[in-house]
Amino acid sequence: MDKEEFTENEFMKVLTPREIVAELDKYIIGQDEAKRSVAIALRNRWRRQQVPADLRDEIAPKNIIMIGPTGVGKTEIARRLARLANSPFIKVEATKFTEVGYVGRDVESMIRDLTELAVNMAKKEEQEKVKERARDLAEERLLDILLPRKKEEHKELEEGDKDKVLEVVRSDRAEPSSTREKLRRMLRDGKLDERYVELEVSNKAMPMVEIFSAAGLEEMEFNIKEVFGNIFPSRKKRRRVKIPEAIEILAQEESQKLIDMDKVVEKAIRMTEQNGIIFLDELDKIAGAESGYGPDVSREGVQRDLLPIVEGSTVLTKYGMVKTDHILFIAAGAFNVSKPSDLLPELQGRFPIRVELDSLTMEDFVRILTEPKNALITQYRALLETEGIKLEFDEEAIREIAHIASMVNERMENIGARRLQTVMEKLLDEISFDAPDMADKEVLITRDYVTEKLSDILEDENLSRYIL
């Protein structure tokens, strides 16, 4: 498969902007402008694949800066977008990086991490393709353990490759009434599930290697690990496991042998370069002029180091060279002290789309508690249902929870929707503790119950600072 065919197939399933927004609406309340922007940015990737090849490489990704307080959905929008696109996605904090020469992480490490993630994704996809074949081979290995073959059979099998192994297995030479076939039927019917077998599994013991060095030398770590990996051979250790677990272990080993790692790495690098999404959080913390002392000494330096990555450069990873020209960067920050115009002009130019996210109101909190697929109330109901407890909330109780969370955010630090989790945890603390021993398995949360549990904390502001 050539590169053009690969990318065309990869982007065939991309949703329209309207469909992307509809999917995001299932999990995120409000923030319509931000949803529209990321939907267009994702669709533009597909559009870029449709233009003539000579123009394709000239079209830069439309990177986005999302501006808004914490807990309003910036990270969730980026994470859900990556899942929709089935793209390698990584979230990094800009404050983790420091200018080369200071102690801290090298900015190129985020590309290496993204590539590692893409390799794991590609490997999983390839293993899924050979899953059935790997399971057949695992079954044969397990039957060999349960009923060792005769020497003649072993010689016959060793002469052929793995395909021939399967041919021998599926041939009609073995009589149906043979012990091996009886064992196979028992194995497939689950009659041997409680039986234990001893397996010999690889245990690649290797000393821990940690490189404490200045930023820019991180690639030394994986080079040294590879060297040590070759010096210390993999050791075998015996494990005693039940048959279902043995099948899984053997199938995993066989799938590793069946997949072509060169193909996996090649695919992963293409996924990183064409589909990768990096969410760069806390960008506002590295904005602003040099202070000349203290922790801010390398703010502008970090921006300068980020610039070539965002503009497009080639980064060395242990899997080869990765180009960053078409990786989509979504940056986010509160920008309550600094503003996007405090960034280096060149870096500003690489984030053409600016979106301001709204602070959440009490009505938004009511919707967050009930509407999304992963709504908090849905989560708590499911958790307590495991104890046989049927948890219900009346409408007034939900509005009171939203009102309290909104009020605490106004009084103290505004942490957005995350405040709802704090309030809910405090509210259901007693029920969660007593759930296994409760006689009454139906619990209705009313407004009075909410007020009773949380009013004391709200009245004592000092206490609420610690508890809510």
In order of their start, the domains of the chain are: 3-125+266-356 (3.40.50.300), 131-258 (no CATH), 362-467 (1.10.8.60)
Task: For residues 424 and 389, give the distance between their C-alpha atoms in angstroms, rounded to a whole number.
Answer: 17
Q: What is the pLDDT of residues 236-252, one digit of tens each?
A: 778 788 888 888 888 88
* Average pLDDT of the chain to the nearest whole number: 81
The pLDDT value recorded for residue 107 is 86
- 358-370 b/e (C-beta count within 10 Å ≥ 16 → b): eebeeebbbbbbb
Q: What is the pLDDT of residues 200-238, one digit of tens each?
A: 777 654 444 444 444 445 555 555 555 555 565 566 778
Residue 165 pLDDT exceeds 80: no
The pLDDT value recorded for residue 10 is 46
Of 190 and 223, the one with more pLDDT: 190
The pLDDT value recorded for residue 99 is 53
The pLDDT value recorded for residue 32 is 93
Task: For residues 2 and 339, give the distance between their C-alpha atoms in angstroms, rounded to a whole number.
Answer: 44
- Would you say 356 and 339 are in contact if contact means Cβ atoms under 8 Å apart? no
Q: What is the DSSP string of 389-425?
A: -EEEE-HHHHHHHHHHHHHHHHHS---TTHHHHHHHH
Phi, psi of 185 (to 5 degrees): -65, -45
Taking alpha carbons only, the member of 291, 304, 293, 294 closest to residue 338 is 291
The pLDDT value recorded for residue 369 is 94
Q: What is the DSSP string of 313-354?
A: -EEEETTEEEE-TT-EEEEEE--SSS-GGGS-HHHHHT--EE
pLDDT band per the 50, 70, 90 thresholds, residue 191? confident
- Would you say 416 and 360 are in contact if contact means Cβ atoms under 8 Å apart? yes
Task: For residues 32 and 21, give the distance between their C-alpha atoms in angstroms, rounded to a whole number.
Answer: 8
Burial class (CB in 10 A: 0-12, 13-18, 19+), 125: middle
pLDDT band per the 50, 70, 90 thresholds, residue 158? low
Task: For residues 250 and 101, give the distance between their C-alpha atoms in angstroms, rounded to a whole number.
Answer: 47
Q: 240: helix, coil or strand?
A: strand
Q: What is the pLDDT of residues 38-62, one digit of tens each?
A: 999 989 988 988 899 889 888 989 8
pLDDT band per the 50, 70, 90 thresholds, residue 459? confident
> Please, where are the H alpha helices in 86-150?
109-129, 131-146
pLDDT band per the 50, 70, 90 thresholds, residue 142? confident
How many residues are present in the chain?
468
Neighbours of 158 (CB within 10 A): 9
Instruction: Give the bridge partners for 90, in sequence order.
Output: 278
Q: What is the pLDDT of residues 345-402, one digit of tens each?
A: 999 999 999 999 988 999 999 999 999 999 999 999 999 999 999 999 999 999 999 9
Letter for the amino acid at 83? R
Residue 297 pLDDT exceeds 60: no
Neighbours of 78 (CB within 10 A): 24
Match 């709200």 to its residue by tokens. 458
The pLDDT value recorded for residue 5 is 41
Residue 131 pLDDT exceeds 80: yes
The pLDDT value recorded for residue 421 is 92
Average pLDDT for 174-181: 63
The pLDDT value recorded for residue 438 is 87
Residue 33 pLDDT exceeds 90: yes
Residue 440 pLDDT exceeds 90: no
Phi, psi of 279 (to 5 degrees): -100, 110
pTM of the model: 0.79
Match 């009084």 to its residue by tokens. 411
Extract the tokens encoding 143. 């039957």
